[in-house]
Homo-oligomer: A and B are copies of this chain.
Amino acid sequence: MSTLDETDVRILELLVADARRPYSDIAAEVDLSPPAVSARIDRLRESGVIRRFTVDLDRSQLRAGVPVLVTLALPADVVSEVREAVVAADAVEHAFVTAEGDVVFHARFRADAVREQLGRLVDLSLVDDYEVTVVSDAEWTPSLGGAEFALSCAECGNTVTSEGRSERFDGEQYHFCCPSCLAQFRERYEELEAGAG
């Protein structure tokens, strides 16, 4: 397991705050040379920790439509198909799949054609039930407090060392400091999944 050190975490924090900050600036902050920072950032990109450099936009100023939150209740066999369609849609900004198999997404629709646009995005005949609510406020909060940023055990919160284990649950990677935390997490996760609600 390639674990992030303190310097990686500080670099990430600086990039979250301003992704166009010069590498030479960052280098000065973390007491490294610019090439060393560049190499670390390359590694963070390759390992997938950094997905992309992007901009956070105030979409309310773009007036691209009404922001809505849509919940789709779906039969299990169409979840991934619907998820794909939703994620691919231009109007969709965030999409979540819950453990129950609901697909929840945040999108912008034209006020005069919400229903029509939804229908174009998803085959509504596949959907058991759906709900659309207008969102009056949406915020993305990428800034984080330092301690929470380190690679920590999903079960107990301790720092994960090279002795740690990783395992994938529902397509997502989790990290654990020891095998017993992994075992306990697995048990609890399955409980949570079964009894959600």
Residues of A within 8 A of B (CB): 4, 12, 15-20, 47-58, 60-67, 69, 83, 87, 90-100, 102, 104, 106, 108, 110-112, 114, 131-146, 148-157, 159, 161, 169-175, 184-185, 188-189, 192-193, 196-197
Contacts and interface: CB of A to CB of B under 8 A. Distances in A.
A17 B144 contact: no
A93 B133 contact: no
Contacts of A65: 145, 148, 150, 154, 159
Contact of A55 (B54, B139, B172): B54
A93 B140 contact: yes
Chain A's interface: helix, strand, loop or mixed, by majority? Answer: mixed
A16 B90 CA distance: 13
Contact of A131 (B49, B185, B197): B197
Given A90-B143, A108-B145, A150-B64, A135 B96 contact: yes
Contacts of A141: 87, 92-95
Contacts of A136: 97-99, 169-172
Nearest to A159: B63
Nearest to A102: B133
Contact of A174 (B17, B60, B138): B60
Contacts of A161: 110, 112
Given A20-B53, A94-B140, A196 B106 contact: no
